[in-house]
Structure 1
Amino acid sequence: MERIPAVGLGTWQAAPGEVTEAVKLAIDAGYRHFDCAYLYHNESEVGAGIQCKTKEGVVKRKDLFIVSKLWCTSHKKSLVKAACTKGVKALKLDYLDLYLIHWPMGFKPGEEDMPFDRSGMVIPSDTDFLDTWEAIEDLVVMGLVKAIGMSNFNHEQLERLLNKPNLRFKPITNQIESQILLRFQIQRNVIVIPKSVTPKRILENIQVFDFELSEQDMNDILGLDRNFRMCRLPIAEHHKDYPFNIDY
């Protein structure tokens, strides 16, 4: 699939035992974009739903746009390929359409998703995300992923990456949180990724192409802004690459 579908199904906090059925229902409802991550610990269940619908002939692999993300404990260059390969296998795929650096911050490698010190703060790694990006670029060359991007990077971090010497592949996305939605910023386009495992809501969330919002509607929505982040990750506020020390 060359273009990213405008609406995707989010799988964050979708419990094993629920997410497989949610994915199957979503495919039947017309979803072709699925947002996953190692940290969600449900990629095998997502893959089971995808595999079921491809075997039934409802969709072909080329019809789908599957996204996953590199977790912070695998930022070291030598760990990136293994982390990506693990996700591809869990999803029962041969490749990913898009692979993201989940956060700009590297954490101490190991089995724990959140390696804490005695004060309860996450232990950083000394990896620079520019080095991580080089290993991410290698995944494109290997054919494990078709496109690459980032998530939760601020504009200064994005600019630093774009200005990196010898940049081989530019990021095509920066996935950011927007209230209860995740969204991709692609140039000026926005792709929304609502998450639900409730059949009624899964269906409702994709029925968004038969109306338009007026200028007043947009102004009313903008007026709801409370400058609030759901995923501020305060346990990493001391990290040199913590992205939320600036507004955007």
Structure 2
Amino acid sequence: PMVKAEEATKLAIDAGFRHIDSAYIYDNEEEVGRAIRSKISDGIVKREDIFYTSKLWVTFLRPELVRPALEKSLKKLQLDYVDLYIIHFPAALKPGEEMLPTDEDGKIVFDTVNLCATWEALEKCKDAGLVKSIGVSNFNRRQLEMILNKPGLKYKPVCNQVECHPYLNQSKLLDFCKSKDIVLVAYSALGSTRDKRWVDQSAPVLLDDPVLGALAKKHKRTPALIALRYQLQRGVVVLAKSCNEKRIKENMQGFSPSCTIEEATWLHGKELDRNMR
């Protein structure tokens, strides 16, 4: 059965997931925060066992808006800090109440913001103790280099969260990130969301792929688990999104020692991840 964000987060924590990935724009931080706090008060986990990621939405990229945005997320979560705070996209939209501001023609209204200034504001949030680590999402190599080469850089991005799966394996970006000691975090690890607004509906469905299917059969696993394990073996931190109780539990098998797929790759399994949209 499909469950809501709060219930799914509780199920995930019960299943052993410790990395919970959300964002201001997902509009579920109140529910996710409630779930985390209830598991803490039940004594299932301590706050320091949970690795919680939130994201700075693109209408808040002006430096003076960064800390207030993070404080909004913390207030919704009812937490003192987040473990990771990342810039959601490297493109600013017009600040204001609208999350996707449009003009009278329905066109998105962009804003001009220097991302290096945004980054400096994130560094200040880390110094203030509101966040443990700071990173980015959906950045390309050039955008990463802009931050890395910034004069007076205090903290470099710890990660870059991007769409990544066997049909979009990001191998060049992964090599670059590894060379800079930046962790690549994969979203849509089981294939893209197939949203009609931007995905060609005739494009092949990743989980129906014959190669994944054959490997799954051979190892008595599901195609989803093969896709998750593929990422772990290349040193990618993987986010597995589900609101389905059975699948939440099943996704965890990708990380469990009972998995026979090349036991030597076990080290990557240490990073346990969860993405809930």
Correspondences of 1:153-232 after superposition (within 5 Å):
153-179=139-165, 186=183, 189-209=235-255, 210-212=259-261
Q: Residues of 2 paired with 1:69 and 1:195: CA distance?
A: 16
Q: How far does the alpha carbon of each residue in 1:146-181 deviate from its partner, in whole angstroms, 9 at most, with x for none?
A: 100000001110011100111010000000012599
Instruction: Please point out which of 74, 88, 95 is paired with 1:102.
Output: 88
The answer on 1:47 being equivalent to 2:19 is no
Correspondences of 1:21-36 after superposition (within 5 Å):
21-36=7-22
State the partner residue of 1:241.
none
Q: Is the 8 Å Cα contact of residues 99 and 149 (structure 1) preserved in structure 2?
A: yes
Tell me the amino acid that sits aligned with residue 103 of structure 2: D
TM-score (structure 2 length as normaliser): 0.68
TM-score (structure 1 length as normaliser): 0.75
Deviation at 1:90, TM superposition (A): 1.1
Deviation at 1:191, TM superposition (A): 0.8
Q: Residues of 2 paired with 1:212 and 1:52: CA distance?
A: 35
Deviation at 1:119, TM superposition (A): 3.2
SS at match of 2:79: coil
Q: Structure 1 or 2: larger helix share?
A: 2
Q: Residues of 2 paired with 1:135 and 1:67: CA distance?
A: 17
Structure 1: 4+ residue segments shifted above 4 A: none
Deviation at 1:213, TM superposition (A): 5.8
Distance 1:213 1:176, change over 3 A: farther
Q: Residues of 2 paired with 1:147 and 1:70: CA distance?
A: 13
Q: In angstroms, what is the RMSD of aligned CA positions?
A: 2.2
Q: Is the 8 Å Cα contact of residues 106 and 128 (structure 1) preserved in structure 2?
A: no
The answer on 1:144 being equivalent to 2:130 is yes
Q: How many pairs align?
A: 198
State the partner residue of 1:114.
100
Unpaired runs of 5+ residues, structure 2, are 175-181, 185-233, 264-277
